[in-house]
Amino acid sequence: MLVYLTAECCGYPISIFFIVVNEFCERFSYYGMRAVLVLYFRYFLLWDDDLATSIYHAFVALCYLTPILGAIIADSWLGKFKTIIYLSIVYAIGQVTMAISTIHDITDANRDGTPDNFTFHIALSMLGLILIALGTGGIKPCVAAFGGDQFQEHQSRQLNTFFSVFYLCINAGSLLSTLITPVLRAQECGIHTQQQCYPLAFGVPAVLMVISLVVFIAGSGMYVKTDPEGNIMWSVCKCIGFAIKNRFRHRSSSYPKREHWMDWANEKYDKLLIAQIKMVLKVLFLYIPLPMFWTLFDQKVSICHFSGLLGGLPDQMQTVNPILILTLVPIMDRLIFPLIQKCGLNFSPLKRMTVGMLFAAMAFVSAALVQIEIDKTLPNFPSSSESQLKVVNTYSTTLNVTISPNEHLLIESFGVQLHTSKHTYSTISCMFVNGYTADLNITNLDSIEPSATTNYTLVNQGKRDFVLRHGEQWCEFSRKFGFGASYTFLIPSTVFSDDCESITEVEDMKPNSVHMALQIPQYFLITTGEVMFSVTGLQFSYSQAPKNMKSVLQAGWLCTNAVGNIIVLIVAELGKLPKQWAEYLLFASLLVAVSIIFSIMAYFYTYIDPAEIEAQVRKEQGLEPEEMEKETLEMEEKDEDQKNEQGVKQTKI
Ligand SMILES: NCCCC[C@H](N)C(=O)NCC(=O)O
């Protein structure tokens, strides 16, 4: 038996230290850049909201599709180590390009603070984003699998812990960068004019990517590196193609059935390759329902982003999620899972993933319940067959208004009857009605003519000051605004003589009375679901893959995320149910249905030890033990030469 003893610390290969630090820096770089990307599109390139979010989503989707490319390069051509290095260089160049594209001074010839040649900045930033997507997606399946490769057979417990620590590093990097880069952007910098400091906000992630690469190269002498076994992906495709063709050629019932359809490749292809393809296909088949989890997960983030369920702090989910991950992963690993095991329950990886999906579904049920509470505080909006009318009485006495022969409204002096405006729940809006006899100027608003109204205007939550002006006359007043509320201010003709005292405030829509704390269960549930689902999925994809296709299966796992993201985009296009809570419940039900299907599929899945199966196939192929030993000895010599070159301590037992 051959065992390699690589440099270890507390039972872990020292090389993984470089890999987790590399992952931390890389995720800092990625999420840091993402945190300011939409702001850059909106306020630097001056794109509208739709274009900015579409390009942002397209970029994210691309980042989850490129792992396939990275996995093919790694498993078929360069090996994981070289692929990570080369694609990290591409990635770092992309980040630097992106940072350069945000320097407004490059094209600001007239020095007015805005770029003069937007085409230049757009072209450079798009080039940067393509390189980043290629780099981040390309190395993603390789880094996790490469980390796994560092462990020996006897370190299976440490291997599982590695994936948890790996996930912790992802979230620590993401948390720090999501907090830091928006602050960097808010600084002012520039050569000719001082502007929002996008170059710093994108430059720091670029530096972190370079550090990530340097750290990875620093560990070079310590890694266990496995070389690719030829163009494995091409062989896999040819083998599958041949099996399908051969099965079709022998479709008549006179031919005896074979145990597995891939066995129809037996005539031409190596049994070992066929066995390996079967292992991969079995896992990929199991992944079919999984995008639904990511659809809900990514929807949750978008919902919090766009409907402002978080009370107007759209980026909160971006930090709450990693904070909870940093807390929940150790609790699960050290407490919950061992406790379940102590109770004699077999909480296998696929069971964990199913429970993870159910937690995500519960998060949506919780969101629906909160939404029902929120809806109770909203006014009744007219249905499609109704309309609403708003009448403002600026006359000095009560007026009787007849709308139709039988309907009468009594409107007090400076009162408002009925309300028609629907607005986003997290915002505060207000409108002014000018009952003064001349034009008025109000802070931050256009001037209003007599008897005219302003549009509803969004204002920030909290206490706000307004100044009303007409020529030399002015008065000042403040009001406190609550989230979700809407107000109309009626300005009487006496406004300047009584120092703004007579301004009447009408609350069109009540402020949000649903406590923020009610949203905590949603975060908790969805993140618990993520820990059970995602960390386990990462481990499972590694453990069930044959040695030469580890990156490919990691890429398959990442693809479930890509498909989930694409479904989010489709759902957004298809429109929404009239009631938000109904939509949440629909998604929750869909995920419960999918988790039931997944649990049935999981029930029929047999966990395998790919190395054992490969050894068995070799044996069946007639590779006698002596031959296998010879083959092993040859491998040992080759590896020993390689390790000696790298200066790694290696012992044969
Ligand atoms: N700013 C939100 C970051 C969420 C990170 C998420 N919890 C995660 O771990 N994603 C996996 C990854 O590889 O990025």
Where in the chain are the domains? 1-228, 230-376+515-653, 391-509
Cα within 13 Å of Cα(417), Cβ side: 16
Nearest atom (ligand 1) to Cα of 527: 7
Q: How many angstroms separate the alpha carbon of residue 43 from the centre of ligand 1?
A: 26
What's the angle, vertex CA 540, arms to CA 536 and CA 541, rounded to 5?
120
Q: d(Cα 75, Cα 226) in Å, to the nearest integer?
A: 9
Give domain 230-376+515-653's CATH architecture: Up-down Bundle (1.20)
The pLDDT, as a whole number, for residue 303 is 47
Cα within 13 Å of Cα(446), Cβ side: 9
Q: How far is CA 394 from CA 284, 403, 475, 491, in A?
A: 69, 18, 20, 9
- Find the distance separating the first CA and the last CA of the chain, reported in whole Å: 7
* pLDDT 10s digits, 624-653: 544 544 444 454 455 455 444 444 433 322
Q: How many angstroms separate the alpha carbon of residue 174 from the centre of ligand 1?
A: 7
Which of 28, 171, 557 to mutate to test ligand 1, by most ligand atoms within 8 A of the CB atom?
A: 171
The pLDDT, as a whole number, for residue 336 is 96
Residues lining ligand 1, Cβ inside 6 A: 27, 31, 167, 170-171, 174, 178, 318, 321-322, 325, 530
Q: How many angstroms separate the alpha carbon of residue 303 from the centre of ligand 1?
A: 17
Q: Flag whether the ipTM exceeds 0.95.
A: yes
Nearest atom (ligand 1) to Cα of 319: 1
Look at ligand 1, atom 11, and give the residue with the nearest C-alpha.
Answer: 170
Which of 27, 56, 170, 320 to mutate to test ligand 1, by most ligand atoms within 8 A of the CB atom?
A: 170
Q: How many angstroms separate the alpha carbon of residue 530 from the centre of ligand 1?
A: 10
Q: How many angstroms separate the alpha carbon of residue 321 from the centre of ligand 1?
A: 8
The pLDDT, as a whole number, for residue 90 is 98
Q: How many angstroms separate the alpha carbon of residue 435 from the centre of ligand 1?
A: 54
Nearest partner of 610 among 145, 66, 239, judged by Cα: 145
Look at ligand 1, atom 1, and give the residue with the nearest C-alpha.
Answer: 318
* b/e sequence 424-442, b meaning 16+ C-beta within 10 Å: ebbbbbbbbbbbbeeebeb
Q: pLDDT under 50 in the chain at which residues?
A: 1-3, 302-315, 417-426, 625-626, 628-633, 635-636, 639, 642-653
Task: Check if 1-228 and 230-376+515-653 are the same fold.
Answer: yes
Q: d(Cα 128, Cα 394) in Å, to the nearest integer?
A: 58
Look at ligand 1, atom 12, and give the residue with the nearest C-alpha.
Answer: 170
Q: d(Cα 212, Cα 27) in Å, to the nearest integer?
A: 9
Q: How many angstroms separate the alpha carbon of residue 27 from the centre of ligand 1?
A: 8
Nearest atom (ligand 1) to Cα of 178: 1
What CATH fold (topology level) applies to the domain 1-228? Growth Hormone; Chain: A; (1.20.1250)
The pLDDT, as a whole number, for residue 444 is 63
Nearest atom (ligand 1) to Cα of 30: 14
Look at ligand 1, atom 2, and give the residue with the nearest C-alpha.
Answer: 318
* pLDDT 10s digits, 328-369: 999 999 999 999 999 999 999 999 999 999 999 999 999 999
* b/e sequence 393-420, b meaning 16+ C-beta within 10 Å: bbeeeebeeeeeeeeeeebeebbbbebe
Nearest atom (ligand 1) to Cα of 140: 13
Q: What is the DSSP string of 214-240?
A: HHHHHTGGG-------SSHHHHHHHHH
Q: d(Cα 112, Cα 192) in Å, to the nearest integer?
A: 9
Which of 22, 29, 174 to mutate to test ligand 1, by most ligand atoms within 8 A of the CB atom?
A: 174
- Tokens 């009787």 correspond to 400
